[in-house]
Amino acid sequence: MKLEEKLLERSDDKCELCSAMGDLQVYKVPPKEYANEENCIMLCEKCQAQVEKKADLDKDHWRTALPVSMWSEVPAVQVVAWRMLNRLRDESWAADSLDLLYFDEEQLEWARS
Ligand SMILES: [Zn+2]
């Protein structure tokens, strides 16, 4: 099975950050070099553009998405959710969510790098 197919199966054909269906793309979570299931997540166009800083942050979009996706069983999804929460931490809901999220050393290091 191709990587994209595996990821789509894991994500149930949904964006792993906001659960949107439709046009999903593979996003390799930096600074990981190797594209495998652990290092990649499926994102909708809207999430991808904002994660990659190609579009302005849409706070309303993240406000509903991140407090859910930060509890994903997929570490790579949690890492991206953590990064987005940090970019939004001026919002009280984002700061509150970050306070709840606990990472082990390895995951925290990934999230910060
Ligand atoms: Zn999305």
Contact 43, 25 (CB under 8 A): yes
The mean per-residue pLDDT over the stretch 45-59 comes to 97
CA of 110 to the centre of ligand 1 (A): 21
Mean pLDDT, range 6-24, rounded to an integer? 96
Number of domains observed in the structure of the chain:
1
User: Could you give the percent of the chain with pLDDT greater than 70?
Assistant: 100
- The chain-wide mean pLDDT, for the chain, equals 97
CB 43 within 8 A of CB 17: yes
Q: Give the pLDDT score at 92.
A: 97
Q: Name the one residue in this structure whose structure tokens are 């406000």.
A: 63
pLDDT value of position 44: 98
Instruction: Note residues around ion ligand 1 (Cβ under 5 angstroms).
Output: 15, 17-18, 20, 44, 47
Domain that holds residue 11: 3-112
Quote the pLDDT of residue 1.
81
First to last CA, the chain: 30
Give residue 84 CA to ligand 1 midpoint distance, Å. Answer: 12
Q: How many angstroms separate the alpha carbon of residue 19 from the centre of ligand 1?
A: 6
Span 55-84, mean pLDDT? Answer: 97
Around Cβ 4, how many Cβ atoms within 10 Å?
Answer: 14
From ligand 1's centre to the CA of 22, what distance in Å? 10
Average pLDDT over residues 15-35: 96
Q: What pLDDT does residue 5 have? A: 96
